[in-house]
Structure 1
């Protein structure tokens, strides 16, 4: 059957979309909501388009079983309103929140700040075209809307373009199939069903243990094994919240007292791997295994730069996998070979233990690839048919660039952003693109985004961008564009910084390696939020160095 459709909007959108606005915002996830709030404070008119029926972005769409944030609840929330944070901090039920809880928080924010009245739901932007004569963007949607705006602000997210692999025969499958990134908002009954899960990235690692609890049989088709670190999730009691808040406060003070943090991997480590004896390393790795969660690869200063140091951490985790998984053959299939930390660091709850269940099977599709999907299941190259009533695609996203390309943005002289980025994304500060004036990308390529707490990154971008828009208005500037030399320098800088590390050595979605034909370019900025903040602040202090700013024309807005 075809992929499940989403429910109709219940937001009461009256489709009263104005023909003109100062700003069009695309996306009503955490970045888009905060951006809308700040744009309003600036006194600018704004129209926001959101393709989902509700706010929340990734936390609306990713409603699959086991979906959970890998950033602690006390950090994964807005910091810009102290009342909102203090009111909510004792309401988080767990250390790592589940998808429904985060979605409810997003809805609470939308209601508390009356954001919905400027958001048009169930609406996809089909095209955005720059009109040089009037210095406006013309934005068109699948609902027939056509809005002219001075500034186009993309908050579409980095992981919103879900990818179902082009496997022959999917249309012939007689059962149901779902993608974790477009999960229906209703319960799926796996009881007694034969389930095939394709993919073992973060969503697959989270989904498999939950599906296995009720499925008649779960077969996991794995192409690449993952390094998973225990989440050690726990209920957040008031006492634990108080303790955690003190810990986080102390950590912030410590980081503020340190010299400038020069790289992401130096964020909290204090020593190198081989500064410790083998016994000391083992003891320290045990501490990290118990407490560090997603920060495990950053426990030593050199894990992400020295292959020998990285192998020490990687082999420790492989040893844990061998000790957890009872069947040696299955354990061997689960042992990763790439440098630890160079793919998204996954934290799990019972993932490896899932393969000890009698109703779970692991198939290695790197050695026995998928041939096709049949009416009855998934046929492997060896001729083995994995029978299925339900197929779950946990196959990820066309990360970072995919959501932007779907907007069909055409800049100066009608040049498509796909053509401008044919050899990989190029931005200035991860925010602007030469040839696309008055367009800004939140948490895009060339920014910390996916290598950080993305809400923190979103706030960082929004605050800087609002200051910029205020500056432009105060100085009568109606056109701003990244200079080509500044963009080239920033892109080279980001690439060179990444090449100092081991990150580019893995075939990860950071590199675009999960999408056939996509340029193999490391897309995020790897320096971390602290260094990035210094750099964007310096640009602003130098009168927005690297941007070409032009005064207002005589064309009416």
Structure 2
């Protein structure tokens, strides 16, 4: 046991404890160390990368362009070369390994160290943090870099534990993989991870059964290889511009929503514009479109109808066309995050693939040999893949027993409705921050773009407090209430409540249904955070012992 480990068991005191070694946690570790703070990272997994450590299921791949989905630090991007427009999990693991070695991060990271509780000591203005393996640490500040999807949702079907085959949730896939060759595989759920597993499994399985709850309004990925020469040309002049541009756009990409109404275009203009966005691949069709598709039913129906017609041309069976691209949209387009498809609809054309529409024939139970549906059919399986999602945004944090100044667990507080200020802190939980969490642009933003804005703000805040000898910062209840009202005010004109999505918490039984993302875009969000800081952290109470 090292000296540091012995100290940790005895309750070592540090400036900042960061929970999670994903994009946010690693960035903060680097920035905080440079700013002169003592900082440690506790990571539940055996390696760095956050979601990219855990998401090792077949086909796992990012949905942001490679040049956007990385740190903006020149010391990192200048010597790193990607191979695909949308890198897969293996390439992202390699990227994080490169980042680790380049910045010498692992020396301050404790792996296999899951945080189970944190209590704020009001007499010392410190957090007392405990872990599953018995470690305790006292930190002035606590930064929860737990990401948007760290609490797994399991279906509550009767008999799930009776299944005799192999069953795994995509987020808890074995690191060594699962051999699907020649197996009868069932995939429950057709969100992003479900689509990726389905596309990857089809060539090797004996039979694939897809259990669809709601059609995925997937968009063409436009995947391609990228050359070193292409990237070197971008690095010469455009990389710094791209990184500056991404914080100027609604969703942290290099393109953004158009202010003009879609309805102002002639039918010919609309058609050509939609064809152009569709052909570009990625999220262009969603996040470079006219912004009124999120508020106008008429505009939204136009983009849905175009999507429906494009998809139906790729499906050979009229029944499949009706189930996968129905005449009436299952929800307004874009109010649930679309996935990026490489060959999803072609896979569903294959004779060894069965689509089970759970709206027509719901699952009644999981049997030892498969899945039984309401029509009496038992779908025999060797492997059952649970692509059933997460308790997003709040669940990553509330699954930890975090108690603030009055001893209330944050899960209990948020159980009545999420409450934050700036989507970064919560009143009554001083000196605690949570980038890429609830009531921030999280659900509508390229991850690195959002987390760098938030993490830079956190580092600057802690530096300000050190310079002014403050030991405590706490959001005021009034600022928190005003922020919550702003979140709902921004979302009110939108069509978000028409979809049962994690954007509003509707995918989790018993979770209060309300918009839990900041829908005003990254530039507005960054401006509001900056205004608070420039005003001496307006909306917070700063104090010292």
1:458/1:58 CA distance change after superposition, 3 Å: same
Aligned 1:58-207 pairs, distance under 5 A: 58-79=51-72, 81-88=73-80, 91-207=81-197
- Name the CA distance, whole Å, in 1 between partners of 2:234 and 2:479: 41
**Aligned counterpart in structure 2 of residue 455 of structure 1, from 448, 454, 461:** 448
- Comparing 413-422 with 240-249, greater Cα deviation is found at 240-249
Give the structure 2 partner of residue 313 of structure 1: 303
- Name the CA distance, whole Å, in 2 between partners of 1:13 and 1:327: 66
Helix, strand or coil: the match of 2:124?
A: coil
1:67/1:508 CA distance change after superposition, 3 Å: same
**Aligned counterpart in structure 2 of residue 516 of structure 1, from 509, 515, 525:** 509
1:482/1:275 CA distance change after superposition, 3 Å: same
Give the structure 2 partner of residue 408 of structure 1: 401
Q: CA deviation at 1:47?
A: 2.1
- Name the CA distance, whole Å, in 2 between partners of 1:262 and 1:547: 26
Give the structure 2 partner of residue 5 of structure 1: none
- Comparing 473-482 with 271-280, greater Cα deviation is found at 271-280
The answer (yes or no) to whether the contact 1:371–1:380 under 8 Å persists in 2 is yes
Give the structure 2 partner of residue 540 of structure 1: 533
**Aligned counterpart in structure 1 of residue 521 of structure 2, from 524, 528, 535:** 528
Pairing 1:57–2:69 present = no
Q: CA deviation at 1:504?
A: 2.9
Post-superposition Cα deviations, 1:40-91, rounded to whole Å, max 9, x if no partner, equal 1122212211000000000011111111100001110000x21211111xx1
Give the structure 2 partner of residue 223 of structure 1: 213
With structure 1 as the length reference, what TM-score do the two structures score?
0.92
Q: Which structure 2 residue ranges, 5 or more long, are not aligned?
A: none
Q: CA deviation at 1:262?
A: 7.8
Post-superposition Cα deviations, 1:258-282, rounded to whole Å, max 9, x if no partner, equal xx87899993425321222223322
Helix, strand or coil: the match of 1:37?
A: helix
Q: CA deviation at 1:424?
A: 1.7
With structure 2 as the length reference, what TM-score do the two structures score?
0.94
- Name the CA distance, whole Å, in 2 between partners of 1:16 and 1:78: 33
Give the structure 2 partner of residue 357 of structure 1: 350
- Name the CA distance, whole Å, in 2 between partners of 1:42 and 1:285: 47
The answer (yes or no) to whether the contact 1:13–1:120 under 8 Å persists in 2 is no
The answer (yes or no) to whether the contact 1:17–1:47 under 8 Å persists in 2 is no
- Name the CA distance, whole Å, in 2 between partners of 1:243 and 1:232: 21
The answer (yes or no) to whether the contact 1:264–1:527 under 8 Å persists in 2 is no
Pairing 1:296–2:288 present = no
Q: CA deviation at 1:17?
A: 5.2
- Name the CA distance, whole Å, in 2 between partners of 1:490 and 1:263: 20
Q: CA deviation at 1:312?
A: 0.2
Post-superposition Cα deviations, 1:357-402, rounded to whole Å, max 9, x if no partner, equal 1111100012211111111000112211011000001111110011
Give the structure 1 partner of residue 272 of structure 2: 283
Helix, strand or coil: the match of 2:541?
A: strand
Q: CA deviation at 1:206?
A: 1.4
- Name the CA distance, whole Å, in 2 between partners of 1:157 and 1:443: 6
- Name the CA distance, whole Å, in 1 between partners of 2:338 and 2:496: 11
1:349/1:425 CA distance change after superposition, 3 Å: same
Q: CA deviation at 1:283?
A: 2.1
Q: Which structure 1 residue ranges, 5 or more long, are not aligned?
A: 1-11
- Name the CA distance, whole Å, in 2 between partners of 1:515 and 1:249: 40
Pairing 1:417–2:406 present = no
Give the structure 1 partner of residue 362 of structure 2: 369
Pairing 1:481–2:474 present = yes
Q: How many residues in Structure 1 have an aligned counterpart in Structure 2?
A: 536
